[in-house]
């Protein structure tokens, strides 16, 4: 039976009998069947061989001097190394009691003497196969368990298995590490007492309680849990109900210490705040620079009302010097003086507002009003431009949510650039400023000029810091604009008009409308 | 002729400055005419205008400098006082090179402005007088017959009657008659005065 040989190359069979004749017969019967055969003529020797070689099948004679078969069987079953071997008793005792005793001691089968070799071969073959399969299965089981244990051990999150009362039935090494004691010490402790220092398990609002009691999955972040030594730590956990056939058997809790995470978040938050602060700073510096560049214009702008005031004052004095002063005319002139001083202070107010630091923060802003204000601002610069600035907006332009000063800064920057480009081109065309609603969520403001335009080379670097085409420029204007507009939740961009010049636009979110950030690039 | 009425023409885009300046100059007894832009002034301009222009150098649309150039093209002799702001000095210098009388920086003192206006008006009077005289000379030159004009040119060139008579193949007596008519028409008895008069308008009659 060569198939047996190939099929059972590793199968070991131990033959135990005090009678050499019997041993010989057994040996002869099984010798060419592909088994590794071991032979013992007494109990102790059999136990020793079995312990060392883990035979699949042991043919064991009951009636032996010293240790009899029953005792050998008992000891084989008691030794974990040999407990899984199939013990087949051999005896002339063909009574029921002997068989029952054999089975009760863990015997697998029984062959009566004198035995038929066919029967021996058949039974050994059957048991050898059973044991082999059993061993394979166990080894697979061990592997699987090993895998599971490795996973549970290597996972960095703590894992608890709880019963419905919150008693800890299982804890992985990570849980022990986080809590600060041995895993064994955790088993049997009450989860709620241990980590939330409360014996009052009726408190439904305790973390994980709902999962244990109602089978509701939970997920919470920044929950304060206690370690074994009573100190607290911020934790994040997920609790999943443990169900067997729809019946609730407690919960599985996966948790971890988020101290480091929270610290990172805090650091990130601080870094963000710093970036915001630096953006504010840069924006403010940029506003100061703009004001510096516009200083001559502002001086002119303030000088106008001052000149008028001086003139009116002179006229008034002259009127009063008359014998019968025309009081009506005098009052009119004084009114004019008053109006002009308001005009001067309005200009100064506008400058001060623009220079204010920090900017006022986001508020609901009327776009037409803001653009009109900005136009007046920019007109200070416009005296060398013939075309001027034209502001147009659709009637239904909604209010936006933005920082008005920063938006004005961006609009002013774009308008001044446009005026400069127009001047450089010697063009009389006006700078066109327009605003319209753009989709549900944003308002698009556009500054279009017919000036020298932007070279394709320059276009690529337009919004990059420290790139400039101006001789005395620092190259921070548009970069600052972009950062400011992005801080408002909008976008800024450039479009190349077909008929020359340049077109810059930016978008701002409509006030009171939740939703998508502003669409970009749509003409 | 020299007592023609002089007006101060104010060209200023800023309404308050324009209005206050008008009141100020009127209260000083000066006829004033105001314009809100260079274009408005150009449209109104004629060579009959006398007085001076108070011109804002920076204005939207056509600025003061451009108006000055346009007026120069029209041979205007109206003196211009430029009103400048802070930092416009380089522009003002250019304006002076183009023939502006003066400039004044905003905000200005009334006295300073009035002084400059007085000076400008005086200059206008002078120029206008000179211009009137020249125009009179031209008018007289134009009243000469071609023959008289030819004789006068030769007189100014210093030719003696005898020489003129030979060259023109006329009698010396005829030359003398022409000569006395020229002197009469030109309103002078002195050859030296005649020479000076004609030379002063030489560019305009050739």
**CATH number for A241:** 3.30.450.20
Distance CA B9, CA B25 (A): 10
- Collapsing DSSP states into helix, strand and coil, what is residue A437? strand
**pLDDT for A7:** 47
Residues B106 and B61 in one domain: yes
- Collapsing DSSP states into helix, strand and coil, what is residue A449? strand
Set of chain A residues whose Cβ sits within 8 Å of the Cβ of B24:
311-312, 314-315
Domain range spanning residue A36? Answer: 2-149
Quickly state the pLDDT bin for A68 (edges 50, 70, 90). Answer: confident
Identify the CA nearest to B2 among candidates B160, B153, B133, B115.
Answer: B133
**Among A12-21, A505-514, B173-182, where is mean pLDDT lowest?**
A505-514
Q: Is residue A334 part of a domain?
A: no
**pLDDT for A515:** 61
Residues B89 and B24 in one domain: yes
Q: Is residue B173 part of a domain?
A: yes
- From the list A303, A318, A333, which residue is nearest B107 (CB)? A303
**pLDDT for A267:** 92
Instruction: Extract the tokens encoding B10.
Output: 């104010």
> In total, how many domains does chain B have?
2
Set of chain A residues whose Cβ sits within 8 Å of the Cβ of B62:
386
Residues A32 and A46 in one domain: yes
Q: What rounded mean pLDDT belongs to chain A?
A: 85
Residues A202 and A88 in one domain: no
How far A337 CA sits from the closest chain B CA (Å)? 9
pLDDT surpassing 50 at residue B44:
yes
The DSSP code for A115 is P
Quickly state the pLDDT bin for A478 (edges 50, 70, 90). Answer: confident
Set of chain A residues whose Cβ sits within 8 Å of the Cβ of B27:
314-315, 318-319
Mutate to test the interface with B, among A311, A317, A332, A381 (most CBs of B within 10 A): A311
Phi-psi region of B99 (alpha: psi -120 to 50; beta: other; left: phi over 0): left
Quick check: B16 and A343 CB within 8 A?
Answer: yes
Q: Is residue A432 part of a domain?
A: yes
Mean pLDDT, rounded, for A88-112: 83
pLDDT surpassing 70 at residue B2:
no
Quickly state the pLDDT bin for A201 (edges 50, 70, 90). Answer: low
Quick check: A306 and B20 CB within 8 A?
Answer: no
Q: Tell me, what's the ipTM?
A: 0.74
pLDDT surpassing 70 at residue A9:
no
Domain range spanning residue B164? Answer: 144-205
A385/B contact by beta carbon, under 8 A:
yes
- Collapsing DSSP states into helix, strand and coil, what is residue A306? helix
Q: What rounded mean pLDDT belongs to chain B?
A: 88
Taking only the tens place, the pLDDT of each residue in B130-183 is 888 888 899 999 999 999 999 999 999 989 999 999 999 999 999 999 999 999
CATH number, domain of A14, equals 3.40.50.2300
- From the list B20, B27, B62, which residue is nearest A308 (CB)? B20
Q: Is the pTM of this model over 0.90?
A: no
Distance CA A383, CA A88 (A): 116
Set of chain A residues whose Cβ sits within 8 Å of the Cβ of B14:
304, 308
Q: Is residue A176 part of a domain?
A: yes
A317/B contact by beta carbon, under 8 A:
no
Residues B150 and B100 in one domain: no
Mean pLDDT, rounded, for A75-89: 89
Neighbouring CB atoms inside 10 A of A123's CB total: 19
Instruction: Extract the tokens encoding A500.
Output: 């020359």
Residues A82 and A215 in one domain: no
Residues B17 and B110 in one domain: yes
Contacts with A47 (C-beta within 8 Å, 6 or more apart), sequence order: A67, A72, A75, A76, A79, A82
CATH number, domain of A408, equals 3.30.565.10
**pLDDT for A298:** 83
Q: Is residue A317 part of a domain?
A: no
pLDDT surpassing 90 at residue B18:
yes
> Which of A105, A129, A149 is the last residue before a domain boundary?
A149
> In total, how many domains does chain A have?
3
Q: What are phi and psi of B148, to 5 degrees?
A: -60, -40
How far B98 CA sits from the closest chain A CA (Å)? 19
Q: Is residue A296 part of a domain?
A: no
pLDDT surpassing 70 at residue A473:
no
Q: Is residue A316 part of a domain?
A: no
**pLDDT for A3:** 35
Residues B166 and B190 in one domain: yes
């Amino acid at each position: 039976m060569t198939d047996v040989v190939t099929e059972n190359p590793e199968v070991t069979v131990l033959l135990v009998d005090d009678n050499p004749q019997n041993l010989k017969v057994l040996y002869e019967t099984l010798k060419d069947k592909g088994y590794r055969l071991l032979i013992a003529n007494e109990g102790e020797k059999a136990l020793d061989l079995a312990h060392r070689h883990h035979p699949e099948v042991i043919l064991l004679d009951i009636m032996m001097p010293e240790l009899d078969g029953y005792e050998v069987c008992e000891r084989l079953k008691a030794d974990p190394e040999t407990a899984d071997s199939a013990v087949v008793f051999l005896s002339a005792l063909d009574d029921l009691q002997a068989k029952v005793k054999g089975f009760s001691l863990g015997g697998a089968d029984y062959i009566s003497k004198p035995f038929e070799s066919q029967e021996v071969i058949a039974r050994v073959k059957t048991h050898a196969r059973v044991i082999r399969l059993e061993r394979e299965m166990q080894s697979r089981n061990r592997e699987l368990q090993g895998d599971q244990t490795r996973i549970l051990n290597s996972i960095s999150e703590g894992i608890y298995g709880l019963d419905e009362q919150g008693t800890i039935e299982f804890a992985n090494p990570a849980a022990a590490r986080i809590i600060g004691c041995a895993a064994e010490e955790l088993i049997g402790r009450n989860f709620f007492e241990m980590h939330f220092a409360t014996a009052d398990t009726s408190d439904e609002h305790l973390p994980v309680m709902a999962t244990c009691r109602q089978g509701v999955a939970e997920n919470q972040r920044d929950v304060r849990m206690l370690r074994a030594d009573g100190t607290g730590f911020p934790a994040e956990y997920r609790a999943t109900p443990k169900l067997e056939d729809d019946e609730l058997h407690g919960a599985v809790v996966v948790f971890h210490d988020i101290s480091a995470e929270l610290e990172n978040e805090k650091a990130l938050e601080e870094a963000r705040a710093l970036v915001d602060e630096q953006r504010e700073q840069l924006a403010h510096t940029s506003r100061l620079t703009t004001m510096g560049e516009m200083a001559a214009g502002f001086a002119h702008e303030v000088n106008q009302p001052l000149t008028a005031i001086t003139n009116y004052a002179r006229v008034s004095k002259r009127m009063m010097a008359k014998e019968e002063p025309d009081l009506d005319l005098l009052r009119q002139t004084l009114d004019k003086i008053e109006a002009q001083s308001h005009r001067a202070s309005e200009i100064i107010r506008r400058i001060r507002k623009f220079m204010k630091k920090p900017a006022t923060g986001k508020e609901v802003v009327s776009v037409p009003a803001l653009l009109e204000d900005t136009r007046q601002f920019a007109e200070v610069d416009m005296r060398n431009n013939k075309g001027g600035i034209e502001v147009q907006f659709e009637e239904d332009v909604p209010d936006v949510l933005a920082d008005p000063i920063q938006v004005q800064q961006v609009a002013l920057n774009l308008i001044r650039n446009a005026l400069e480009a127009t001047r450089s081109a010697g063009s009389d065309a006006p700078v066109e400023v327009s605003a319209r609603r753009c989709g549900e969520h944003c308002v698009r403001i556009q500054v279009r000029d017919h000036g020298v335009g932007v070279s394709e080379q320059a276009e690529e670097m337009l919004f990059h810091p420290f790139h400039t085409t101006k001789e005395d420029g620092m190259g921070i204007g548009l970069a600052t604009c972009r950062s400011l507009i992005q801080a408002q939740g909008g976008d800024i961009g450039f479009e190349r008009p077909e008929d020359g010049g340049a077109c810059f636009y930016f978008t701002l979110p409509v006030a009171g409308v939740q939703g998508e950030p502003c669409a970009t690039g749509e003409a | 002729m020299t007592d023609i009425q002089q007006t101060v023409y104010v060209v200023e885009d800023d309404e308050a400055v324009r209005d206050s300046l008008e009141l100020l100059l009127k209260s000083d007894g000066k006829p004033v005419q105001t314009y809100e832009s260079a274009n408005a002034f150009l449209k109104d301009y004629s060579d009959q205008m006398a007085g001076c222009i108070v011109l804002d150098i920076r204005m939207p649309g056509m600025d003061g400098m451009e108006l000055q150039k346009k007026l120069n093209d029209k041979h205007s002799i109206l003196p211009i006082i430029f009103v400048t702001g802070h930092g416009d000095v380089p522009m003002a210098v250019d304006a002076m090179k183009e023939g502006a009388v003066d400039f004044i920086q905003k905000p200005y003192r009334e006295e300073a402005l009035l002084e400059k206006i007085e000076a400008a008006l005086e200059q206008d009077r002078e120029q206008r007088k000179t211009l009137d005289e020249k125009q009179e000379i031209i008018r007289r030159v134009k009243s000469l017959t071609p023959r008289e004009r030819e004789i006068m040119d030769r007189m100014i060139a210093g030719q003696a009657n005898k020489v003129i008579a030979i060259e023109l193949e006329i009698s010396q007596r005829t030359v003398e008659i022409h000569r006395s008519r020229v002197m009469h028409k030109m309103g002078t008895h002195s050859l030296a005065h005649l020479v000076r008069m004609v030379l002063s308008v030489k560019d305009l009659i050739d």
